Amino acid sequence: MLEASARYLGDDLVVTVPGCGELAVGKALDSALSSWLDRSARLVDALAHGPGTFECPTEFEDDESEVVRWTGIGGSFVDESELHLLSTGDLDRLADERPDICWDVRRFRPNIVVDGGPDAFSSTSENTRYRVGDAEVAYEKGCTRCVMTTRSQPAGIERQLDVLRHVVRAHANVVGVRARIVSGGRVRVGDSLSGPGPRTEGF
């Protein structure tokens, strides 16, 4: 699934499926997804679908290890929290520590990338609130990482198990923070982040 991508054209969502190009939401997209994944698949509204089911190998270095499964939260296809925030400083610090590893932001899949240092959220505690754009969010906890950070992706992001090995050893397996939405609103590239952090760079 990391080989596919999605974006908005105005108010319309389009999905790029490998080998099929960009497709609008509808039967053609569902057919392309099913053919590509070799199983029946369709794009659905997360709000109408209910919580998703997730799975991960118990040993991130062994894809054949026992699989653990769990149910995510309702309202979105996320496994543990509504939002994931990451600072540019987090990635810079990791790159300084291990310059031999590719620390591309896409490995971590944040919703919001904050232009700030690695300690942008260090003074936060549970339920600390931030205003970002027109929305208000509340800090929940540090974001523990999983095997997905090690996976290969398009544009030269190769599988690197040392990504997670280093994060586990050097940072107790935490990079970025998890947050929940207190009140929704539009967030734009360059919007400010109020509270104990700098401005947002994008999302």
Contacts of 169 (CB under 8 A, 6+ apart): none
- Angle subtended at Cα 48 by Cα 44 and Cα 50, rounded to the nearest 5 degrees: 95
Residue 193: band (very low, low, confident or very high) from pLDDT cuts 50, 70, 90: confident
- Residue 1's pLDDT is what? 84
At 9, the amino acid letter reads L
Q: Is the separation of the CB atoms in 120 and 128 below 8 Å?
A: no
Q: Give the pLDDT of residue 198.
A: 45
- Beta strands of the chain (E only): which ranges? 5-9, 12-17, 21-24, 53-57, 67-71, 83-87, 112-114, 129-132, 135-144, 174-183, 193-194, 200-202
Distance of CA 79 to the CA centre of its chain: 10
pLDDT 10s digits, 87-133: 999 999 999 999 999 999 999 999 999 888 767 776 677 778 989 99
Per-residue pLDDT at 202: 46
pLDDT of residue 196: 57
d(CA 87, CA 82): 17
Which has the minimum average pLDDT: 23-32, 33-42, 96-105, 111-120?
Answer: 111-120
Domains, the chain: 1-43 (no CATH), 46-79 (no CATH), 81-203 (2.40.33.20)
Give the mean pLDDT of the chain. 87
Q: Find the mean pLDDT for residues 33-62.
A: 86
Please tell me the pTM assigned to this model.
0.79
By the 8 A CB rule, do 3 and 12 touch? no
3-state secondary structure of 141: strand
Say what the pLDDT of residue 29 is: 97
